[in-house]
Amino acid sequence: MIYLKTDEEIELMRASNILLGKTYAEVAKSIRPGVSTAELDKIAYEFIMDNGGRPACLNYEGYPATLCTSVNEQVVHGIPSKDQILKDGDIISIDSSIELNGWCSDSAYTFPVGDVKPEVMQLLKTTKEALYLGIEQAITGRRLGDISATIQNHCERAGYGVVREFVGHGIGRDLHEDPEVCNYGRRGNGIVLKSGMTIAIEPMITLGRRQVLVEEDGWTARTVDRKPAAHYEHSVCVRNGKADILSTFDYIKEVLGDRFI
Footprint on this chain of Co ion (rule: CB under 5 A): 106, 200, 202
Among 6, 46, 60, 211, binds ligand MF3 (CB under 6 A): 60
CA 67/CA 39 separation, integer angstroms:
11
Residue 252: which of Co ion, ligand MF3, none does it interact with, CB under 5 to 8 A by kind?
none
Shortest approach of Co ion to residue 201 CB, angstroms? 9
CA 50/CA 101 separation, integer angstroms:
14
**Ranges within 214-243 binding ligand MF3 (CB under 6 A):** 233
Residue 146: which of Co ion, ligand MF3, none does it interact with, CB under 5 to 8 A by kind?
none
Give 68 or 139: the residue with its C-beta nearer to ligand MF3.
68
Among 10, 27, 31, 57, binds ligand MF3 (CB under 6 A): 57
237 phi, psi to nearest 5 deg: -110, 125
> Is 97 an interacting residue with respect to ligand MF3 (CB under 6 A)?
yes
Instruction: Tell me the CA distances in angstroms from 9 to 102, 104, 192, one per residue in order.
Output: 10, 11, 21
CA 215/CA 209 separation, integer angstroms:
17
Among 15, 26, 36, 63, binds ligand MF3 (CB under 6 A): 63
Residue 97: which of ligand MF3, Co ion, none does it interact with, CB under 5 to 8 A by kind?
ligand MF3
SS3 content of the chain, % helix, strand, coil (to 5): 30, 25, 45
Neighbouring-strand partners of residue 93: 70, 110
Among 10, 12, 25, 68, binds ligand MF3 (CB under 6 A): 68
Instruction: Tell me the CA distances in angstroms from 153 to 86, 125, 147, 149, 225, one per residue in order.
Output: 32, 15, 10, 6, 22
Interface residues with ligand MF3 (CB under 6 A)?
57, 60, 63, 68, 77, 95, 97, 106, 108, 233
